[in-house]
Amino acid sequence: MEVTVKVFRYNPEKDQRGNYVTYKIEADPNDRILDVLEHIKGKTDGALAFRRSCAHGVCGSDAMRINGRNRLACKTLVRDVGANITVEPVLGMKVKKDLIVDMEPFFNNYKKMTPYLVNDSPLPEDGRERLQSPEQRARFDESTKCILCGACTSACPSFWANDEYFGPAAFITAHRFIFDSRDEGASQRLMVLAETDGTVRCHTAYNCTEACPREIQITKAIGDLKMAMVTGKID
């Protein structure tokens, strides 16, 4: 089938502002949008810039706006979006070139969540690992699925209004560790979440949950965090 692909282009070395370039190419309905972009880059326009790595929905590097919705280019098929395709960078993050946005502030917010297990207590005397029941593991299972693609944060109206807002991806990271029974850093993380740019700015728009390619129930997880902040309970 022939598809018409309208792609946002911006080269900071040459352009005052971005514009759209339209390509017409042959594609299979089962091709992914990533294949379409690779085709354009390989055959028509080698200067087209976009991020990709695994091409299998694992690395999180190719989140972009496809027909107005945040998706991973490697997980979106042509047949799912039709013959008229518009590809743009995600919103709320500075465009560095074409479809590539500056993810540094995003990862700075991620780091604020202390994204690793905190536990200074001695190991169990028998030398075994810190054990966890299936129920304890299930408490944070959803949030372990995050691939840090940024589709949620860049779909959030609170983030569009204030890019200092930590955003839903950072909250999912906090959730992953706060509700881990082996972790001892919850109180410190909850204090960070209580800052002005923390969960108080979440207005439950649900955009994050709709945007997440891993189908994580982000809004519910943020609700868990808010409850923990109010009650001080994490179990």
**Applying CB under 6 A, which residues contact ligand FES?**
52-55, 57-62, 72, 74
CB 203: neighbour CB atoms within 10 A?
10
| Cβ 225 vs Cβ 233: under 8 Å | no
> Which is nearer to ligand SF4, 172 or 190 (by Cβ)?
172
Picked from ligand FES, ligand SF4, none, the partner binding residue 58 (CB below 5 to 8 A depending on kind) is ligand FES
Closest CA to 91 of 149, 153, 48: 153
Least distance from C-beta 191 to ligand FES, angstroms?
Answer: 33
Half-sphere exposure of 168 (CA within 13 A, CB side): 34
Min separation Cβ 216 and ligand SF4, Å:
5
Our CB check for ligand SF4 shows the closer of 3 and 189 to be: 189
CB 228 within 8 A of CB 178: yes
Taking the least distance from each CB to ligand FES, the nearer of 144 and 204 is: 144
- Look at residue 172 and give the partner it binds from ligand FES, ligand SF4, none, a contact being a CB closer than 5 to 8 Å depending on partner kind: ligand SF4
No. of helices (H) and no. of strands (E), the chain:
9, 7
Give 186 or 212: the residue with its C-beta nearer to ligand FES: 212
Which of 167, 202, 187, 170 has the alpha carbon at shortest distance from 234?
187
The option from ligand FES, ligand SF4, none interacting with 148 (CB < 5 to 8 A, set by class) reads ligand SF4
